[in-house]
């Protein structure tokens, strides 16, 4: 049976990027016809859980049987396997809808794994929150038929689907941005992973893993170093995440599966509570994260923190928790907004947490990101803090990544590119940060000065003033006019989007 399936899979036609894009478009067109689908926040999760089951069947189940025909035990058994119901044309209309709603989803949600690496745990966690939102059984049949034409049987197919899925995630981020969900652009992920200098054997955690961007980048960074099966198993166990919300958990699990992680080590939980109740065995070597900021946590979470460090601001709670979650000698790269860096004063919880940070860790680098990196979700200026749990901070280096020449910010159509970080990478000085020099974009501040300021880390580039001093009044006026014109144009576009006529019309 396994050999037959392998042969069938090998004969399945490869799915080119063009073909795949066409199928995804057809799938989304089909879902648009259904009365139960209200925008991409409904359509994309629906497509994702179906893609997950198809990919899991071909990437994990069929490959597992092919490699071990006698010993492999399927995570999903009859009649719930993909080929049992998705490819059966007798399953259609209301019958298919009833089967999916009343049998398939409850069965998958009830799976129980034997150990931490058992994929049944991932499947059950995903499907506890999955709801089939399609009201038409006929349209559901059409959608399943389209998904069934997508294949994951070769490396090329998987890479193609991963590429297309990333574009789906980008659209998902665009849709979710309006509801307050901010996601990390890929260049930021890549830069933070690259400058963390990861090594095989290190445990790596993202406590706000979302759609899995940091975890995917960390795995991609390290998988080329793997030489043995033992190393690969260790790497898969070392890539860890925690995600509170069901939708990002589903999208992230699919993302990790497509990149070769069959049983993602991502827990569905409130990471702040998880980290507060963790023990020594749960501590990690590396944390890579962009925690939610500007939000508020419920009182039960806040009360889990010590007196003097209780706040509803999520960014501070994450930073405090990460300081405890790191092993001695561990390191972290974390995104924080300017407001968090500025918080000062003896009674400020932010200042207290920064004091703990600089006492326990070497905060060696603060990378100041240009305006609009997280557009369109937020225009809040942000920074990346890099620190190591190796003892107190002596000096903090700041590096300001400038906007490209002629740019005032980033947009969905013109986002940041990874190449813009290259000057910072060249300046960095490698893993040991050797040979750093102050310059137009870089400057160092003694820890004693930061302590004297009340732990203010929102320190502007001291070279910007010099640049302005050397510009003529005409240049400054021209720049101001240009900025005001851009603002007026953006306001006019906003007016049109709201359907409001301008006075001239």
Q: Is residue 69 part of a domain?
A: yes
CATH number at residue 443: 3.40.50.150
146 in the same domain as 186: no
DSSP for 16-57? Answer: -HHHHHHHHHHHHHHHHTSTT--SHHHHHHHHHHHHHHHHHI
6 in the same domain as 65: yes
DSSP code of residue 296:
B
360 in the same domain as 451: yes
341 in the same domain as 364: yes
Residues of the chain with pLDDT under 50: 1-11, 177-182, 466-470, 501-505
Question: Kind and range of the H or E element at 299?
Answer: helix 299-302
Q: What Å distances lie between residue 134 and 28, 71, 73, 248, CA to CA?
A: 12, 38, 32, 20
Query: Are 157 and 15 within 8 A, CB to CB?
Result: yes
pLDDT of residue 465: 59
- Tell me: the pLDDT tens digits for 57-85? 988 898 888 888 888 889 999 999 999 99
Structure tokens at 106: 């409850």
pTM of this structure: 0.81
What percent of the chain is modeled with pLDDT above 90? Answer: 52
Q: Is residue 433 part of a domain?
A: yes
268 in the same domain as 377: yes
Q: Is residue 322 part of a domain?
A: yes
Q: Is residue 125 part of a domain?
A: yes
Cα separation, 31 vs 47, in Å, equals 9
332 in the same domain as 455: yes
**Sequence-ordered list of residues with C-beta below 8 angstroms from that of 108, at least 6 positions apart, any chain:** 76, 80, 123, 124, 126, 127, 130
166-182: burial string, b at 16+ Cβ within 10 Å, e else: bebbbebbebbbeeebb
**Backbone region of residue 202 per phi and psi (left: phi > 0; alpha: psi in -120 to 50; beta: other values):** beta
Q: Is residue 373 part of a domain?
A: yes
DSSP for 162-209? Answer: HHHHHHHHHHHHHHHHTTT-----HHHHHHHHHTTT--TT--EEETT-
SS3 content of the chain, % helix, strand, coil (to 5): 50, 10, 40
213 in the same domain as 262: yes
Q: Is residue 42 part of a domain?
A: yes
How many CB atoms lie under 10 A from the CB of residue 42? 17
153 in the same domain as 267: no
Indicate the residue among 173, 188, 210 that finishes a domain: 173
How many CB atoms lie under 10 A from the CB of residue 329? 10
Q: Is residue 504 part of a domain?
A: no
pLDDT of residue 386: 98
Indicate the residue among 119, 149, 173 that finishes a domain: 173
Cα separation, 353 vs 335, in Å, equals 15
Cα separation, 33 vs 146, in Å, equals 15
138 in the same domain as 228: no
Q: Is residue 321 part of a domain?
A: yes
127 in the same domain as 249: no
Cα separation, 451 vs 454, in Å, equals 5
195 in the same domain as 129: no
Expressed as residue numbers, the domain containing 488 is 471-497
CATH number at residue 48: 1.20.1260.30
74 in the same domain as 14: yes
Query: Are 152 and 161 within 8 A, CB to CB?
Result: yes
Q: How many domains does the chain have?
A: 3
């Amino acid at each position: 049976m396994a050999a037959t399936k392998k042969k069938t899979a090998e004969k399945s036609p490869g799915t080119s990027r063009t073909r795949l894009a066409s199928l995804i478009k057809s799938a989304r067109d089909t879902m648009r016809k259904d009365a139960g689908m209200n925008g991409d926040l409904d359509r994309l999760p629906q497509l994702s859980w179906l893609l997950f089951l198809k990919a899991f069947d071909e990437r994990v189940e069929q490959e597992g049987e092919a490699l071990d025909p006698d010993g492999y035990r399927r995570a999903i058994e009859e009649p719930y396997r993909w080929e049992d119901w998705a490819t059966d044309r007798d399953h259609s209309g209301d019958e298919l809808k009833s089967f999916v709603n009343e049998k398939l989803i409850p069965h998958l949600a009830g799976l129980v794994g034997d150990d931490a690496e058992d994929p049944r745990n991932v499947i059950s966690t995903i499907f506890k929150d999955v709801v089939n939102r399609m009201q038409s059984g006929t349209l559901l049949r059409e959608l399943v038929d389209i998904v069934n034409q997508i294949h994951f049987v070769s490396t090329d197919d998987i890479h193609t689907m991963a590429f297309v899925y990333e574009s789906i995630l980008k659209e998902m981020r665009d849709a979710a941005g309006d509801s307050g969900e901010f996601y990390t652009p890929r260049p930021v992920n890549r830069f933070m992973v690259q400058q963390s200098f990861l090594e095989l054997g290190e445990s790596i955690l993202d406590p706000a893993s979302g759609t899995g961007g940091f975890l995917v980048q960390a795995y991609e960074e390290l998988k080329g170093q793997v030489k043995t099966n033992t190393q690969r198993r260790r790497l898969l166990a070392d890539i860890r995440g925690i995600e509170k919300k069901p939708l990002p958990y589903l999208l992230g699990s699919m993302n990790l599966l497509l990149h070769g992680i069959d049983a993602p080590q991502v827990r569905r939980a409130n990471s702040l509570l998880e980290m507060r109740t963790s023990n020594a065995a749960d501590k990690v070597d590396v944390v890579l994260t962009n925690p939610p900021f500007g939000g508020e946590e419920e009182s039960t979470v806040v009360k889990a923190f010590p007196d003097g460090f209780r706040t509803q601001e999520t960014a501070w709670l994450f930073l405090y928790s990460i300081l405890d979650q790191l092993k001695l000698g561990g390191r972290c790269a974390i995104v924080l907004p300017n407001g968090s860096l500025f918080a000062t004063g003896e009674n400020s919880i932010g200042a207290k947490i920064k004091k703990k940070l600089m006492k326990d860790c070497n905060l060696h680098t603060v990378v100041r990101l240009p305006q609009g990196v997280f557009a369109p979700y937020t225009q809040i200026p942000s920074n990346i803090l890099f620190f190591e749990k190796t003892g107190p901070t002596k000096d903090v280096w700041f590096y300001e990544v400038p906007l490209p020449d002629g740019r005032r910010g980033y947009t969905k159509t013109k986002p940041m590119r990874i190449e813009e970080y290259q000057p910072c990478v060249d300046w960095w000085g490698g893993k040991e940060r050797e040979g750093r020099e102050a310059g137009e974009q870089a400057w160092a501040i003694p820890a004693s000065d930061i302590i004297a300021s009340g732990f203010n880390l929102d320190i502007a580039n001291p070279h910007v003033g010099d640049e302005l001093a050397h510009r003529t009044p005409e240049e400054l006026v021209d720049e101001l006019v240009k900025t005001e014109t851009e603002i007026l144009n953006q306001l006019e576009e906003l007016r049109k989007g709201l359907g409001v006529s301008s006075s001239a019309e």
